[in-house]
Chain A
Amino acid sequence: MPPRRRSLGAARAASLIGRQGVLVALLLLILFGALRYDNFLGSYNVLSLLRYNAMFALVALGMCFVIMTGGIDLSVGAVAAMASVVSALVSPYGLVPALAAGIGAGLLTGLVNGLVIAWGGILPFITTLATMLAANGMALLLAGNQSVSVSWEGLFIELGQGDLFGLPVPALIAAAAYLLGSLALNYTAFGRNTLAVGGNEEAARLMGLPVRRVKIAVYVLSGGLAGLAGVILASQFGAGQPTEGAGWELFAIAAVVVGGTLLTGGIGSVGATLSGVLLLGLIFNILNFENGRGAISLSAYWQSVIRGLFLLVVVVLQSRLTARRTG
């Protein structure tokens, strides 16, 4: 049976298994790392892991909401790159203008996505594919085909490189975003509407839910978070990077799916998405440790092979689990 013919209860159960599965896998990986490597749970490793995965976490959070409505946002990587260029260009004028410009660029692209999808009726896949190309082109045009240095005066650089209460600033930003995202999903009308639209759009429309507004909202959210990730990227690199975001969208989709969210929409969890991001980030981290020990020497090329294999294992396991539960 195709997934959409499942009853809601069975689907919920399946998603719960997916969610607990990812948490168990995450804990097992952490246990493995802690037993095998000396400095794995050291503050340096943990903090840098959090710092460098904060951008992916933000992008994946937006993707999670989009996918819950049954859509997809392929533009997030290009939007983040464009936002990094925009904020780097504005950075000499201070922190707030740079932040506003970068996030604003993301929000604007998200608004275009949402309007074209909700009012133009064009498939999310095609719409965001087109805005991905456009954002990529804009980033290159604005940057003149090279990276744009960030002005080093001011607080801007703290966004990506600074610490607050001993924790990396980008990780704190991501944590706040996930807290807000989780509250929005579980306790607000917006969250309920998002799931309702993804579960059955026609039914949501008949119930009088503002389907179009919900769709526009999730793409604006996704664009804005991608913009924020771009600002952090510029701050971390000390430069706007017009081509850096390539492939982020697929990482985000992978994280959301590893987190047990169904691509057909209607089901999803903010926390599980975070687990998905951490799981994918940890695999990189563990591969680096393996390289550091010198026991094996895995080039960067092997890393993408292993990442692909890992994705394969997770999705096959998930499909088996959900099939058993519902079939």
Chain B
Amino acid sequence: MGRRMRDWGAPLALLALLVFNVAVTPNFLTWQTFFVNLTQVATIVIVAVGMTLVIATGGIDLSVGSLMAIAGALAPLILGGSLFGPLDPTTAVALALGVPVLVTAALGLFNGVLVTGFRIQPIIATLVLFIAGRGIAQVMTNGNLQTFSNPSFQWIGLGRISGVPVQAVLMVVIVLAMAWVLRATVYGRHVLATGGNEGAARLAGIPVARVKLAVYAISGLLSGIAGLIVISINSSADANLIGLGMELDAIAAVAVGGTLLTGGRATVIGTLLGALIIQLVRYTLLANGVPDAAALVVKAAIILLAVWLQRQGASR
């Protein structure tokens, strides 16, 4: 019973929410509603997948929102030619998509170096970039809103592949890829072993430091992608706001999805379900006229309830 509750709790909760909405919320079963929810959840899921890997090693990454802001600040600077000078359109788009993601991956690696090389606790190590990162993005843009229009760059946020938003396709690809990595590859097993018992993993010859460096770099890289999606949707980049509070949304999605926050057990599909549950709760409340502030209180209760239910499952 307990184990079943753990494995099926999230899908069942999602199902219950869907049934409730079909019965109560007007116009719920439309493509419009479906895509609105998908696009609102895509960035959270992409960031939360990286967070799942970090948490699977027993760490945490508070810097994701700030890294999103850095990526979001860099891309318009590249497109506008103020970073590398004037470029031909194709190169500009390629650089605007590539460089920010490489930079945030490098900053993720920096987090990893603090955690592994200097043995700083992950929450403090990533707190450094949480504080400084947004400042860096603000300094780069002088705190100004950067507006831009570049359809081929904004394809990542606004485009559609046979009717499906590109960001949703990207989300699904990332989720499936990471679920496969975690389940079926040697690296995935190393990640879980490191989180399960670091000392034992080290004795077993697992390159613990390298495993951890990689998860923080992946988390940084995925945050960068999410940052690019956000600015593409908005046609503007505001370093003060991009990714604000994202670390909490991502951690909540991971926790609700059933990944152990102490490390050692992780489910990427669960994280996807967790993010969908949180998003759907919010949508349900808003669509039925409950104010956003009250939705925060309900969201808090849902997170606690979900984690508590999983704990009941785990302890039996």
Contact = CB atoms under 8 A, between A and B. Distances in A.
B132 A307 contact: yes
B304 A126 contact: yes
Interface in B109-146: 114, 118-121, 123-125, 127-136, 138-139, 142-143
A108 to B, nearest CB: 14
The CB with the most chain A CB atoms within 10 A, among B125, B198, B262, is that of B125
B123 A263 contact: yes
A129 B143 contact: no
B251 A301 contact: no
B135 A302 contact: yes
B123 A130 contact: no
The CB with the most chain A CB atoms within 10 A, among B138, B142, B300, B301, is that of B300
Interface in A262-320: 263-264, 299-309, 311-312, 315-316, 319-320
A93 interface: no
A132 B118 CA distance: 30
Given A254-B127, A263-B121, A304-B132, A130 B301 contact: yes
Interface stretch (B5-13, B79-87, B287-295): B287-295
B131 A307 contact: yes
A141 interface: yes
Interface residues of A, number: 47
B132 to A, nearest CB: 2
A315 B136 contact: no
A290 B41 CA distance: 43
A122 B118 contact: no
Interface in B273-316: 291-297, 299-301, 303-304, 307-308, 311, 315
10 contacts: A120-B311, A131-B300, A134-B300, A141-B291, A253-B127, A299-B139, A308-B132, A308-B133, A309-B132, A315-B114
Top-7 shortest CB links A-B: A308-B132, A137-B296, A304-B135, A140-B293, A301-B138, A134-B300, A305-B135
Interface of B: 60, 62, 114, 118-121, 123-125, 127-136, 138-139, 142-143, 198-199, 248, 251-252, 255, 261-262, 291-297, 299-301, 303-304, 307-308, 311, 315
Given A130-B301, A133-B248, A316-B120, 20 more contacts: A121-B311, A126-B255, A126-B303, A129-B251, A133-B296, A134-B301, A136-B296, A137-B295, A137-B297, A140-B293, A250-B62, A253-B127, A263-B121, A264-B121, A301-B138, A302-B139, A305-B135, A305-B136, A312-B114, A316-B118
Interface of A: 2-3, 72, 116, 120-123, 125-127, 129-134, 136-138, 140-141, 145, 250, 253-254, 257, 263-264, 299-309, 311-312, 315-316, 319-320, 323
